Structure 1
Amino acid sequence: MGSRNQLLNALKRCLGMGRRQLSVGPHQVVLVTGCDSGLGHSLAVYCYRVLHMTVISCCHNLESQGAQLLQQMSSENERRRMHIWQLDLLEPESIVQLHAKLEQLLASTDCHLMALVNNAGVMCFGEFEWQLPAQIEHQLNCNLLGTMRLTRQLLPLLRQQRARIINVTSHCGFQALPALAPYAATKAALRVWNDALRIELQPHGMEVINFVPGSFVLESNIAARQQQQAQQQLEAFSAEQLAYYGSYFKVFHEYLSMLSGFKRPNQLQDEALLAKFKDALTNAQPKTLYIHEPWRYKVYRWLFKLTPTPLTDWLVLRFCAMPSFESAQRS
């Protein structure tokens, strides 16, 4: 009977049948990671102000501007629906403490855990030869292993509550881009892990969703430390690397200077993106993959699937539109 029901549900998904919205409100809890800025901050505000849910906003730094703005919201309502908790995905003890606080919150209220949104991530630009072992490991440890650590710790509770898991990945998980090799590797690994987890948790009545929000690096702080990271890379160069890459390295990071510096958290005003997130969060039978992208992304992603590798590589360079080694040598 179980296999038959699973087959029927799979057919319904394929045909787009039986799609109804789950009710949301103060009694439903959503836990979002990476809420200091960017997408995580925006999703926390959206779930709180628009969906009127109880929100656990996980911030790396409780003194950050984003955390402080969220803290101000927590006093807006008599029933406290905005909780700002510190979370360091690199520290197992931080994850254990968050788990204990979550269990306590659910036990002391009439709330139901509806979803875990794995959004937190870090990024470092630079060719693979430039990136330091610590920079590579930091991306792997936060984006991939940290997400796995948190999810594994919370899984028994998620299973008991039949909560869903929404994993925020990236277009880089489908098509790797130059200068983002470690970051793309983490997002591709998350995509594959997401698919395996989805199949594993289906028998327990749980949904696992891959949410690809598109690029808004200029509106987030994911690359806020890029110039410091570039300086570390430069200082680690050998004499041979400095002579070989010097002019290209300078042009490359001058181009990326616009990314550096911490920006004020702001709620993304992309209604289409938020509508897709709402469907991923509240649809009784959500899609397994949500992709939000401008037409330019759609065209390139379609071409990447069709073209032979040499042409795909050329298209990737056109898509990135970043300084190249050859152009720097000519200048």
Structure 2
Amino acid sequence: MSGSHFLSALRRTLGLGRKQLKVDSRHVVLITGCDSGLGHSLAVYCHDSLHMTVVSCCHNLKSEGAKLLQQLSTSRDGESRMHTLELDLLKTDSIQLIHQQLKDLLSRNPEYQLKALVNNAGVMCFGEFEWQLPEQIEMQINCNLLGTMRLTRELLPLLRQQQGRIINVTSHCGLQALPAMGPYAASKAALRFWTNSLRVELQQYGVEVVNFVPGSFVLDSNIAARQQQHADKMRQAFSEEQHALYDSYFESFNAYLKILSGFKAPNQLKNESLLAKFKDAVTNCQPLSIYIEEPWRYRLYRWLFGICPTPLVDWLAVRFCAMPTYESTRKQST
């Protein structure tokens, strides 16, 4: 590490020189996963409260969330500040098209600066590892981790040239793995460590990289909207032995999760603490390496996970999830 990098790291550690920079319509932020939930809320917040120019990437431009974003047509010199584009992180041509559309936007407006890439898009599938099908496991790894890497790699030259920053939305599951969420937790933990590596690599080029860990918004988004369809596929793939062992437990498990299924209308999260941390991640000249938003229950459990021996951590993880277990289902049936 060079002397200048060491001094910068020391100042960051001591909290020296941290100040928020004013952003306006000249500053562009690209956010993925804006159809609903956190991504939709952050796109609206950046547009309405921070007055930035927003490139909101949705998986489906016909979704209700995409249509609501398209209605935000505040203009400056005839140029809308909300640009809603379609993005599929599993398709290279879709990622390349987003790159070209972003370059075109910046080219049309030479005063624009790409301020941040917010990698928020993700998918989730609940189920014990033995239940989940290979395509369900690969879907979570491919979208949450590899898709985020593909998009970031595509946009890195622009981010480097314009001194933009990367904000990767990870998860509490990346800090502590939970039962019935193994592949999802694996994707988020991998994303967390890749973020750490990327942060060190890109500091020398003036590109900040941030790990943003929000609280759980699974009930406010569509990240698990297809849970029952996923469960049906799992059940159909069971062997006779698995049916005999799991059926009662599997039924209780997925009955508990029915509240997650079905596509919900997009809403705007009113969590002021979360939005304040996000604003700091976007606008601070020296952002923190990690921002964690959590209720007191999450904070307590995370502290206990860090100090307890493994058997107790395992017991606490089950208590934290509060979902049906094989043993609890057997007790109910006897």
- Fold match, TM over 0.5? yes
CA-to-aligned-CA distance 1:99-149 (integer Å, 9 cap, x gap): 111111111102110000000000000000000111000001100000000
CA deviation map 1:288-321 (0-9, x unaligned): 0000001111111111111110111001111111
Shift of 1:282: 0.2
Match in the other structure for 2:314: 313
Output the CA distance in 2 between the equivalents of 1:199 and 1:303: 29
Tell me how far 1:75 sits from its aligned partner: 5.4
Q: Which residue of 2 aligns with 1:39?
A: 38
- SS at 1:88 equivalent: coil
Gaps of 5+ in 2: none
- Unaligned 5+ segments in structure 1 are none
Equivalent position of 2:63 in the other structure: 64
Q: In structure 1, how many angstroms separate the alpha carbons of the residues matched to 2:5 and 2:74? A: 44
Three-state SS of the structure 2 residue aligned to 1:210 is strand
What aligned pairs does 1:196-235 form with structure 2 within 5 A after superposition?
Answer: 196-235=197-236
Measure the CA separation in 1 of the matches of 2:86 and 2:320: 37
Pairs within 5 Å for 1:116-265 = 116-265=117-266
Could you tell me how far apart the structure 2 residues matched to 1:95 and 1:220 are?
23
Which residue matches 2:100?
A: 100
Q: CA deviation at 1:62?
A: 0.2
Counterpart for residue 5 of structure 1: 4
User: Letter of the aligned partner of 2:117 in structure 1?
Assistant: L
Alignment pair present for 1:15 and 2:34: no
Extract structure 1 runs of 4+ deviating beyond 2 A.
Answer: 74-79
Q: Post-superposition shift, 1:76?
A: 6.5
2:62 equivalent to 1:52: no
- Aligned mates of 1:216, 1:106 — CA distance in 2: 33
SS at match of 1:290: strand
Structure 2 residue identity aligned to 1:123: M
SS at match of 2:204: helix
Q: 1:165 and 1:74 mapped to 2: Cα distance? A: 26
> CA-to-partner distance for each residue in 1:170-210, whole Å, 9 max, x for gaps?
00001100000000000000000000000000000110000
Measure, in 1, the Cα distance between the counterparts of 2:158 and 2:177: 34
- TM-score for the superposition, normalised by structure 1: 0.98
Query: Once structures 1 and 2 are overlaid, which stretch shifts more, 103-112 or 29-38?
Result: 103-112
Give matches, 1:264-303, under 5 Å. Answer: 264-303=265-304
Cα offset for 1:216? 1.3
SS at match of 1:166: strand
Contact kept, 8 Å, 2:64 with 2:266, in 1: the verdict is yes
Instruction: Out of 77-86 and 96-105, give the one that drifted further.
Output: 77-86
Q: What corresponds to 1:322 in structure 2?
A: 323
Q: CA deviation at 1:79?
A: 3.6
Deviation (angstroms), 1:4: 1.4
Q: Distance in 2 between matches of 1:271 and 1:305?
A: 27
Q: Secondary structure at the match of 2:117?
A: strand
Which residue type is aligned with residue 89 of structure 1? L
Shift of 1:238: 0.8
RMSD of aligned residue pairs (Cα, Å):
1.0
Aligned-pair identity in percent equals 67
Scaled by the length of structure 2, the TM-score of the pair is: 0.97
SS of aligned partner of 2:80: coil
Find the aligned partners of 2:67 and 2:217 in 1 and give their Cα distance: 22
| Structure 2 Cα separation of the partners of residues 112 and 76 of structure 1 | 17
| 8 Å CA contact retained: 2:69, 2:82 | yes
- Matched residue of 2:312: which SS? helix
Conserved in 1, the CA contact under 8 Å of 2:212 and 2:291?
yes
- Give the CA deviation at 1:74: 2.4
Structure 2 CA distance, aligned partners of 1:244 and 1:276? 46
Q: Deviations over 1:203-256 (max 9, x none)?
A: 001100000001011111101110111011111111110110000000000000
What is the alpha-carbon distance in structure 1 between the residues aligned to residue 120 and residue 112 of structure 2? 22
Contact 2:75 2:81 in 1 (8 A): no
